[in-house]
Chain A
């Protein structure tokens, strides 16, 4: 007897759609109505909120800061995460599983705790600053508060474990024999990385960069806690406008701009990767 197993998928699909899509639709719909304050919106469909966002240098600057800090955090995650992932992927001892388990466990730690850990380490009396001052590299303590550097560090800290796991799964798909073959034919270590590992991992690295970038674009906690009320990203601005000003329409507009920006940047990246593939600059 043929069983229609797909029927079982309908209830979770309906629940998922209701919780995610429908609730977002209701909120985003508000962006097309005039904001009357205190959570009230006008009756007529307007695009005034979008016009205000796109013509106001203040909001555009916040969009730029959000994209910039997210991109820098994604890049930093790649730079710090790739060697770690490579090392674990190529490790033959049981330590690889222990290290991998450690990274998985670290991703379970709530972001608030992670950020407060950073705050303690980078405080004026903390380990980092005391060391730097003691060895004379700094003449005054470095603070993670109220600057974009701190926000990038916070975002990177948030995504690093996830990034390493993604990179690990990518590197594992590259046969070790290719590296050995290249070395047998006289390639040095740098050349092996540059000509073999990097091109083969580039599609996966791009996917990882985009995933980490997307996570950072929507990240609120790191930016709110480390931004010190001075670095505004779009999620921070949404919180301020919705919670403090109770301006739902404008908050929805910023949320919509954030969503569209992420989609556009992702599509653009995929398009660029395809162009690179077409030009045979990337091996698939």
Chain B
């Protein structure tokens, strides 16, 4: 009797222990997810808001930081064996990813937050992550002091008082292709004829072609530049973090288009052994909570449309970023399926090299 009671008690303890262990077990116990993304503030935001949730599920996240171009180069160098499970991809790279056939098909039921995205921003291979609005960021005080008219088009940057005092994205940078597309379309060119855009860039008398958007803040602070072609997020951060009195102009492209938009995507790699965790990560990234925090902090435009309204409550965001869906719809979006990137870069190099 005593013995059976003892056994029963032990059984209860074992059952309790096992059930508590099962309850404590996370969805991603033992999973190490490798994420290819930018470093700095961009990564820090993800660490703060997504990684902690992933770790609560028992998993671990390691970042492979670098620009999308650098991360794509890593995939090519590794002959398709990507050193990450999930990666950020620029719109201009989508064609190359498909050509190399390195993407894992997505199970959208694992990414339920896609319900808040426009239909054009997700498909069976990719899910949109963010958008940027490429603008002319200018120093209000300096323009007023020197009597320089506020620009409304890219051509307005060709001004004697702006000579050697403006910045433009290098073709190698994240904003390079979009920046070149913006000036090209504004000057009457298109994806197959960028010469008008290159001619305008040459006319601009640019001090520096930036490689990293963060250079914008440093150059405004140092007084080297008073205007920059950059995405609105960098302008917003220049005001918020560097305290420079800058604001944005969404340049008029033609009678129908005002402003230039650029798109970012997430993709899961074909060789990933953690595809489920990777899709969970994407779902968190496009959640309303994360997208709102990202938008306010970095000035990027969320893909999750449910956060447009609360975003407008932030006065700086409201000042610098276009949130009206109709106006967003009238921004230039480049059709990268028509762009031969090596041709663009070759023409750029030859036109811009001193």
Residues of A participating in the B interface, judged by any CB pair closer than 8 Å: 37-39, 58, 61-62, 65, 119-120, 123-126, 140-141, 143, 145-148, 224, 228-232, 237, 240, 242-247
Contacts and interface: CB of A to CB of B under 8 A. Distances in A.
Contacts of B224: 123-124, 141, 143, 145
Interface centre among A143, A244, A246, by most chain B C-beta atoms within 10 angstroms, is A244
B242 interface: no
5 contacts: A145-B208, A145-B224, A224-B211, A232-B353, A246-B72
A110 B246 CA distance: 33
Contacts of B210: 229
B354 A230 contact: yes
Given A224-B211, A229-B210, A244 B353 contact: no
The 3 A-B pairs with the shortest beta carbon distances in the complex, nearest first, are A229-B209, A123-B222, A39-B76
Grouping DSSP codes into helix (H, G, I), strand (E, B) and loop, the A interface class, with mixed when no group exceeds half, is loop
Contacts of B346: 245
Nearest to A237: B349
A175 B76 CA distance: 58
Contact of A228 (B77, B209, B218): B209
A38 B209 contact: no
B96 interface: yes
Contact of B207 (A37, A39, A145): A145
B344 to A, nearest CB: 10
A22 B353 CA distance: 33
Given A141-B224, A243-B70, 19 more contacts: A39-B76, A119-B218, A124-B223, A125-B223, A126-B222, A140-B164, A146-B209, A147-B354, A148-B354, A228-B208, A229-B170, A229-B208, A230-B353, A231-B353, A232-B354, A240-B345, A243-B73, A243-B172, A247-B342
Interface centre among B70, B223, B341, by most chain A C-beta atoms within 10 angstroms, is B223
Interface string B168-179: 001110000000
A242 B349 CA distance: 14
A243 B341 CA distance: 12
Contact of B69 (A126, A244, A247): A244
Interface string B33-73: 00000000000000000000000000000000000011011
Contacts of B345: 240, 244-245
Contacts of A39: 73, 76-77
Contacts of A58: 349-350, 353
Contacts, number: 87
A58 B349 CA distance: 9
B119 interface: no
Given A148-B354, A246-B76, A143 B207 contact: yes
Contacts of A237: 349
Contacts of B96: 38, 246
Contacts of A124: 222-224
Interface centre among A39, A140, A147, by most chain B C-beta atoms within 10 angstroms, is A39
Interface in B169-215: 170-172, 206-211
Interface string B220-240: 001110000000000000000
Interface centre among B210, B224, B345, B346, by most chain A C-beta atoms within 10 angstroms, is B224
B208 A38 contact: no
B324 interface: no
A231 B207 contact: no
Nearest to A37: B342
Nearest to B164: A143
Contact of A123 (B223, B342, B352): B223
Contact of B171 (A62, A145, A148, A244): A244
B177 to A, nearest CB: 10
Nearest to A231: B354
A242 B345 CA distance: 12
B206 A146 contact: yes
A259 B73 CA distance: 23
A172 B223 CA distance: 45
Given A123-B223, A126-B222, A145-B208, A240 B349 contact: yes
A245 B170 CA distance: 14
Nearest to B208: A228
Contacts of B70: 243
Contact of B73 (A120, A146, A242): A242
A62 B341 CA distance: 21
B100 interface: yes
